[in-house]
Structure 1
Amino acid sequence: MGTVLAVGCALLAVPAGASAAPVNLATASPFVVLGGSAVTNTGPSVLNGELGVWPGTALTGFGIATLNGAVHANDAVAQQAQADLTNAYGVAAGQPLTSDLSGTDLGGLLLTPGAYRFTSSAQLTGTLTLDAQNNPDAQFVFQIGSALTTASVSRVNLVGAATPCNVYWQIGTSATLGTGTAFQGNLMAAASISLNNAATVQGRLLASSGQISLINNVIDASMCPGTSSAPPEPPVTPEPPVTPLPPTGLTAPGSAPGSPTAPGAGGTRTVTRNGTAVWTRTPPRAVSGQPACAAGFTATIRGRQIERVVYRLDGRVVRGASKSPFRLFVRGLPGRHKVTARVTFKDATPARTLTLGYRACASVALRPTYGPARFTG
């Protein structure tokens, strides 16, 4: 019989069966991204955990990414992690079956702890809900014979004390996450993993033999034991006052000798503090039949002289950007939340932190808090 959640989405409940056993990632646990042949990145992705590759050596495109963890390129640490991944993959594949979901779209299902099998490929369109029934140790294992694919703006929703740390996707070939997908759990693919633009993962991406491809994604396992947490934002050191150099008699037209705006040729230091930064944001709206609370909204930082923006959602780094447009897509999550943007400037303007609060309704509306952004130095 169907079950209706507070967000207004009808779900098909699958009867509970035997509970799945824990899957131990061992030394692969610190990694949020571990590839076999290579790992590539396009755009300002954020990795809250370690990055590695073995037996390949290529880690490309991470110059503009935010890496909150160690990097292991074809070293002994990555090699051992791959060995432990192979063991964990086998444990997941050997779990006693709770239910065979072959031919069923994961979207719209409400699943309780257990092991679920797809003899070939699996598809997620819409929202999959995993209910741990108030047991934070409950395990979910998905045994997928070939490929896993998610449609754009699909999501995995965890309720009843479920945690992404205890969700395992054992995939026979490859996984592809669609644009804007909000995924949860540990993806363990025998071949490759590809994420489209703005897809996010609360969990890990672990590929045994193939390549992992990222495009402007956030991969976060900092909530899981064994994973390095994102380091706190370093404090901003106040800039010392600018002391004009002794005047030489040469000044710019309209400038007094020793003025802080006089050119360097005039014997003074040129200092500008013209940086500005303000929030703009789109109103929430439904996308592809999803309610507004599932669609979220886009927040953008606009201004002058902006050098870099680091976004945090409820205190956790979710994106870094070093060139315009400085945008962040915010998913519709239940309850009250706070998005902050730490903005640094190309000139001498002091760094600023902008704060935006929003509240997602329990039904279908996402209501960002409108009003002026708050600045803190």
Structure 2
Amino acid sequence: MTNINFSRLWGNAGRLWMGVIAAVALVVGVLVTLTEGASATRPVDIGDAESYGVVAGVSVNNTNLTTVTGDLGISPAKTLTGFPPGTINGDRQLGNATAAAVKADVVAAYNDIAGRTADATVAAQLGGTTKGPGLYDSAGGGFAINGTLVLDAQGDPDAIFIFRADTLTTTRVSNISLVRGAQADNVFWQLSDTASLGIYSTFRGNVLAQRTVTVNFGASVDGRIFSLNGSVNTTGTDSIPATHIAIPNDPPTATTLTSSRNPSQRGQPVTFTATVVAVSGQLIPAGEVVFKDGSTALGSVFLNRTGRAVFTTSSLDRGQHRIVAVYLGGDTFDHEAMIHHAPSKSDPVLQIIN
């Protein structure tokens, strides 16, 4: 679950409301029955562009304080302005062979999406809606986000979301909320024209636009900004926090699964315990774990304060069952900082029911 970043505006009060609103979003994600989208949407390969926060064809231009966490590339041109005062926490590849190769991978990803068949055509206004996995075309030619767009992976951290349109416009303080395993790495915005991300907006996903992409004052981007044949223009802030573009880099986790009794008798309760730990550091992950029998979800439980989720069932039929626990990722407070842990899946437990 990923929370709305109101703390950039409201300080401690924002952080309080952030938790309340995120909890409501999660409940909505659990209860809503979606008819749009398709869970089988295949991944999008961006190749060597994976480490790049910004790629442009013509130029990258910045004013004031903007931070790019990730590499930056420009091809075939090489015009870079406004860094400093902006900062780039990564390599700069400007008009060289490396930039050309990265740009080619972005173009290939764009063309891959362009050649796919949409799962649904939806209204241009995405704010106030919840979308499941799938490829969405815009009924109006462009997409807009006014308010919050909730992307619900429905318990699958590998779920892919693709939005395809001419343009994308997000309004001031708009937000994209990722729930039930949705990952910014798996969200793509393919645009035949331009994109504009609003003042203090919170944006998640990868923008692949043909023309100019504008990132406005105070916007926070968890993803990547690619302009194939245009420029990326960023307006930084006058003070910290800066306008921010960062490639997704959630701390990895590991999930293990045990069974209370194996083999067991049909109708006899069996308890499965999933334990989720951070690969590094002492912070205990929080969030939801889905227990699956093959591809069938048996149920879900939230981690307790020790990082364990306990699920009991007596509904398994006779035979062998490959049970896995899927941690969907989640937010944990580290003092005042919010850490979003990456999802992980356990090795299967072969449960035998006699």
- Structure 2: state its 5+ residue gaps: 1-20, 237-242, 252-329, 339-354
Quick check: 1:7 aligned with 2:24? Answer: yes
Per the alignment, residue 292 of structure 1 pairs with none
Secondary structure of 2:24's partner?
Answer: coil
**Residue 316 (structure 2) pairs with residue 337 (structure 1):** no
1:35 aligns with 2:56: yes
Listed one character per residue, the Cα deviations across residues 219-253 of structure 1 (whole Å, up to 9, x for unaligned) are 1114279xxxxxxxxxxxxxxxxxxxxxxxxxxxx
**How far off is 1:212 after superposition?**
0.3
**Structure 1 counterpart of 2:210:** 190
Alpha-carbon distance in structure 2 between the residues aligned to 1:23 and 1:170: 11
Aligned equivalent of 1:218: 244
**RCO comparison, higher one (Cα < 8 Å, 6+):** 2
Counterpart AA for 1:337: F
Amino acid aligned to 1:172: S
Aligned residues: 230
Instruction: Note the 1:128-277 alignment, pairs <5 A.
Output: 128-144=149-165, 146-216=166-236, 217-223=243-249
Distance 1:5 1:358 in 2: 16
- For the structure 1 residues 88 and 224, does the alpha-carbon distance in structure 2 shift closer, same or farther, using more than 3 Å as the test? farther
Q: Could you tell me which of 101, 104, 111 is aligned with 1:83?
A: 104
Q: CA deviation at 1:47?
A: 1.1
Alpha carbons 2:75, 2:103 under 8 Å: kept: yes
Worse-superposed segment, 183-192 or 64-73: 64-73
| 224 and 141 in structure 1: CA distance in 2 versus 1, 3 angstrom threshold | farther
1:357 aligns with 2:336: yes
1:47, 1:68 within 8 Å by CA — same for their partners in 2? yes
SS at match of 1:82: helix
Distance 2:98 2:124 in 1: 39
Distance of aligned partners of 1:188 and 1:82 in 2 relative to their CA distance in 1, 3 Å threshold: same
8 Å CA contact 2:164, 2:191 repeated in 1: yes
Q: Secondary structure at the match of 1:86?
A: helix
Assess if the C-alpha contact under 8 Å between 1:34 and 1:51 holds in 2.
yes
Q: Distance in 2 between matches of 1:71 and 1:86?
A: 19
Greater helix share, structure number: 2
Question: Taking structure 1 as reference, are residues 224 and 39 closer, same or farther at Cα in structure 2, changes over 3 Å only?
Answer: farther
Match of 2:349 in 1: none
CA contact (8 A) 1:49 1:222 kept: no
Question: How many Å apart are 1:179 and its aligned residue?
Answer: 0.2
Closer, same or farther: CA 48–139 of 1 in aligned 2, 3 Å? same
Residue 124 of structure 1 corresponds to 145
1:120-155 Cα shifts (integer Å, max 9, x gaps): 1111100001111121111111111x1100010001
2: CA distance, partners of 1:189 / 1:358 = 32
8 A contact 1:130–1:156 mirrored in 2: yes
Once the two structures are superposed, what CA deviation does each residue of 1:3-39 show, in whole Å capped at 9, x if it has no partner? x973379798641443321110011111100011000
Taking the aligned partners of 2:120 and 2:60, their CA distance within structure 1 comes to: 34
Q: CA RMSD in A?
A: 2.5
Q: Distance in 2 between matches of 1:5 and 1:42?
A: 32
Q: Give deviations 1:235-289, integer Å, cap 9, x for gaps.
A: xxxxxxxxxxxxxxxxxxxxxxxxxxxxxxxxxxxxxxxxxxxxxxxxxxxxxxx
Amino acid at match of 2:173: V
Identity across matched positions, percent: 33
User: Could you say which structure has the larger radius of gyration?
Assistant: 1
Give the Cα separation in 2 of the matches to 1:158 and 1:106: 14
CA distance in 2, matches of 1:65, 1:153: 22
Between the aligned partners of 2:73 and 2:155, the Cα distance in structure 1 is 34
Give the C-alpha shift of residue 55 in structure 1: 1.2
